[in-house]
Structure formats: structure tokens, C-alpha cells
Amino acid sequence: MADKAQEENSPLQVVMNELDELAEQWASLHQANGEWKCRRGRHRRKFRTPCDVWVFDSEGTCVRQESARTRNLSERGIGLITPSPIFEGLPIEVLIQPPDHPATYLGGVAVFCRYTQLGVYEVGVALQVHQNAPIFSADPQEAPARFPWLRQALRSVQLAAKTCKAPPLRGRHGQVAIKDSLTS
């Protein structure tokens, strides 16, 4: 019981609750005459579970792994809360294993990243594939040959790295959230 109370008051949970509150306020502003008007293509559902995330570096050459949490899920995407930024355009693999369910690997591309507070980043991922085996984390060199979306994302990342411009971290409205350390 004490663990549940601690989890509800953890800094991560506070951030997630504040993000949910902002999303609800945003949604209420977009309801008119009882009709839903929203810029989102698909409805988001709360989906909170620990997950593991693998992401290529900003040059698209090696993969790092970190622990994260899911925030929400839609038909085409997943929202994550991560301890470090993930550049827009980088391929991401997410392993989720909710209790009493088999492990599921989700693959996609980061479509936005923004700093929230307390050292936490909100990351939106456009999903491309899901399966019950690793997508690229087990063999990052071979995976692009099997997945055209991954090959294209890595080409874009590598092209950006060659021009010394890592893909920008963008907020929900297109503003750059964090300056790129490669160009400073």
C-alpha cells in the first residue's frame, strides 16, 4: 500500500498527471456545440507501463538503450516519457510487457520531443511495425534491409549528421525545444 502511495507522488507521476491535465484542458477548448474538434488524427488512450526503449544515435550508427514509461497509445502512435531527449526522425524500438500479456516490440520514428520538467522528456512516436521479437535492437546492422521505413529514417538521420545538423527536437507546435549541441 505504501508503494502505491509513493508511486502516485513520485516526480514522474506528477509530471504525467500534469501532462494529462493539460491534454484535458486542450481537448475542452476544442469541443464546440457538443461536437469534437481536435487536431489529432486518432484518439489517445491512457496507457501507463514501464518499457525499454532502443534508439539510434544522431548519426544513425549505433543504438542506445534506456528505461522509460509509456504515456498514451493510439492506432498509429505511442507517447513516451524518457529520461533523455530523442531527436525527431530517429528510429525507436519500444518493448512493452504489461502484466499477464506477452512481450510486444513496437517500431517507429520520433515525431516530436520536448522537455517537460524534472529532467523528463515527452516523446511522440509514429508507429510503423509491431511484433513479438526485437525489430532492430538485436541486430541494428541487418534490420534496415528488412524494414524500408527504418532504412529511410536512417538515411535521413545520416544525411543530417553529414551536414552537421542533427534532426531538431521540436515541441508540439514546431518550435525547437532544445538547441542542437552539434552546431554550438
Instruction: Give 156 or 32, the one with higher predicted confidence.
Output: 156
Cell of 182: 552539434
Q: Are 56 and 93 in contact (CB under 8 A)?
A: no
Domains along the sequence of the chain with CATH: 44-175 (2.40.10.220)
Contacts 24+ apart (CB under 8 A), 150-156: 150/91, 150/107, 153/60, 153/89, 153/90, 153/91, 153/109, 154/56, 154/60, 154/91, 156/89
The strand pairing partners of 79, in sequence order, are 72, 124
When pLDDT is averaged across residues 3-9 and rounded to a whole number, the result is: 50
Residue 46 — very low, low, confident or very high, per pLDDT cuts 50/70/90?
A: confident
Contacts for 146 with CB less than 8 Å, ≥ 6 apart: none
When pLDDT is averaged across residues 131-147 and rounded to a whole number, the result is: 95
Residue 60 — very low, low, confident or very high, per pLDDT cuts 50/70/90?
A: confident
Whole-number percent of the chain with pLDDT over 90: 45
